Structure 1
Amino acid sequence: MPILHPADSHELHLSSLNTIEAAAGPIKSLPRFYPAGHRVERHTHSRAQLLYAAKGVVVVATEEGRWMLPPGHALWIAPGIAHSVEMLVDVTMLSLYLAPGVVAGLPERVKTVGVTDLARALIVAAVNPEPEDNTPARAALIMPLLLDVISTLPERGLALPFPSDPRLAALCRSFVAQPTAELPIDRWADQMSMSRRTFTRIFRRETGLSLSTWRQQACLFAALPRLADGEPVTTVALDLGYDSVAAFTTMFKRMLGSPPRIYLARDRSQPAASASLL
């Protein structure tokens, strides 16, 4: 695997940003391979980005929170939003950069979306086509359909927003470092010198999520990289403090639409896409 040195990474990242900003058409596509542990520093671009992780798991951070992007998902990043990207494992990333207004009605924020089979095929064909498909005539057919499909991708609740209150944010950071199925609400409320009711109300106001949903999101953040790396579901579930694999599976299915084994098997059955190193 190629080793990306910090100086080279910085220069290549700047070159990539310049390429995006200089693009003339409505869509600019970029395939990239990133090694585990690589970090793309905080940046912005004038185009919206659909960041699709064809393989691997990434975390995108903005001032509003953190978004996990597991395999088979994409992240919509509106123009002008400052964000950084961290690779938790080796990542094959296929990104589309859309000129403002090219698709009407898309959100002016960050959101995680599920990638349908049709969308996946179109993204691969647009970003990293096979040599025989890399023709202007094919692109003229693919791009309009891809733009239409992007607007219909289903939103997935994989955001992990952090509160702005420093004391509450510190509690959240400590939990993310060691997530567990049981979150000590009363102890957190005591540390904030609040009643349980006041604490839960303020937490929702600060994050937009109930404490229960936020806890489940944090557990998913911890579980998905380990599951993607091949660890048994039983091990991950028990490490996170779930009473049983069934309880963990129920949570996983409620949050992502399918149980872990089916979800991960679906991803592993997808063909890998080749990409250059940034």
Structure 2
Amino acid sequence: MLCIISGNMRVITDEGSWITPPGQACWVPSEANHLVTFTQSSEFRTISIRSDLLTDLPKKCCVIKLSPLLRELILTAIKIGWDYRLESYEARLMQLLIEKIPLEKETPFFIPEGRDSRLKKVTSAMHENVRIDYTLKHWGNVAGASPRTLARLFELEMGMSFSTWRQQLCLLHAIEMLLKGQSITNTAFTLGYSSAGNFTSMFTQAMSKSPTAYLKEWNINKEIL
């Protein structure tokens, strides 16, 4: 499990990408082939768990929000290290950490990927320059496919509509931009929103807090961690 203290991380697998901002952790199963990239200078902590203790833990990658208790358990576990007796207080603390992981709330920081070559051409281009005002017609010209074909591929391979996937990608890019110090207004216009207010409404609906509140919480967590 990779826990982000500052900066921002992406975990990429064949299924898609998980963005992990500060105050979150990305759970990666031991058998999952994955690539970790950092979109800015970052600080993180890694927790490794023995394979025989994974029974009740997630079977797939996921991003979870670190509750205050789990955060403290992780920091304490790192200080303890590997040198402790099996019947000790330290061992009980490690067991509590393991039991707490599957109880944490998953966060909506996953963007799936498809396999069709036309779809991959579109999503690759969108990762480089996503805008909420670029339609399927625009991306159809990039992929050499009709809007109807692309719409069908998004539903079939992503399990969601094009507009839902596009908004999710905009959200993930917005988080990365805000964490890098971009203003809310600049982030909104870069992503193609007609106003900062429209962008803020999208962000608040998805994250249950405004961009300003999100950044304030991140700064508090950064100080604690």
TM-score range, shorter chain: 0.7 to 0.9
Which residue number in structure 1 is paired with residue 207 of structure 2?
256
> Contact 2:119 / 2:153 at 8 angstroms: preserved in 1?
no
More strand by share: 1
Q: Which has the higher mean CA deviation after the structures are superposed, 82-91 or 140-149?
A: 140-149
TM-score by length of 1: 0.71
Which residue number in structure 2 is paired with residue 26 of structure 1?
none
Tell me, in whole angstroms, the C-alpha distance in 1 between the residues paired with 2:167 and 2:52.
Answer: 35
CA-based RMSD: 2.3
Q: Which AA in structure 2 matches 1:62?
A: T
Q: CA deviation at 1:138?
A: 5.0
Alignment of 1:36-51 (within 5 A): 50-51=1-2
Pick from 107, 113, 119: which aligns with 2:70?
119
Residue deviations 1:44-78, cap 9 Å, x none? Answer: xxxxxx11112110111111111111111111111
Which residue number in structure 2 is paired with residue 7 of structure 1?
none
Q: CA deviation at 1:189?
A: 4.5
Tell me, in whole angstroms, the C-alpha distance in 2 between the residues paired with 1:157 and 1:125.
Answer: 27
For the residue of structure 1 that corresponds to 2:103, the secondary structure is coil
Tell me, in whole angstroms, the C-alpha distance in 1 between the residues paired with 2:145 and 2:150.
Answer: 9
Pick from 160, 173, 194: which aligns with 1:243?
194
Q: CA deviation at 1:246?
A: 2.0
Alignment of 1:81-92 (within 5 A): 81-92=32-43
Alignment of 1:187-226 (within 5 A): 187-189=138-140, 191-194=143-146, 196=148, 198-226=149-177
Q: Which AA in structure 2 matches 1:259?
A: S
> Contact 2:16 / 2:110 at 8 angstroms: preserved in 1?
yes
List gaps (5 residues or longer) in structure 1: 1-49, 274-278
TM-score by length of 2: 0.87
Q: % of aligned pairs identical?
A: 29
Tell me, in whole angstroms, the C-alpha distance in 2 between the residues paired with 1:261 and 1:218.
Answer: 20
More helix by share: 2
Q: Which AA in structure 2 matches 1:214?
A: W
Which residue number in structure 2 is paired with residue 163 of structure 1?
114
List gaps (5 residues or longer) in structure 2: none
For the residue of structure 1 that corresponds to 2:43, the secondary structure is strand
Which residue number in structure 1 is paired with residue 46 of structure 2?
95
Which residue number in structure 1 is paired with residue 99 of structure 2?
148
For the residue of structure 2 that corresponds to 1:230, the secondary structure is coil
Which residue number in structure 2 is paired with residue 80 of structure 1?
31
- The structure-2 alpha-carbon separation of the partners of 1:86 and 1:202, relative to structure 1 and needing over 3 Å to count, comes to same
Q: CA deviation at 1:221?
A: 2.8
> Contact 2:171 / 2:203 at 8 angstroms: preserved in 1?
yes
> Contact 1:54 / 1:272 at 8 angstroms: preserved in 2?
no
Residue deviations 1:162-218, cap 9 Å, x none? Answer: 21011210111111111111231134346554452x532321221223212211222
> Contact 2:7 / 2:43 at 8 angstroms: preserved in 1?
yes
Q: Which AA in structure 2 matches 1:166?
A: S
Q: Kindly report structure 1 stretches of 4+ aligned residues shifted beyond 4 Å.
A: 134-138, 189-192
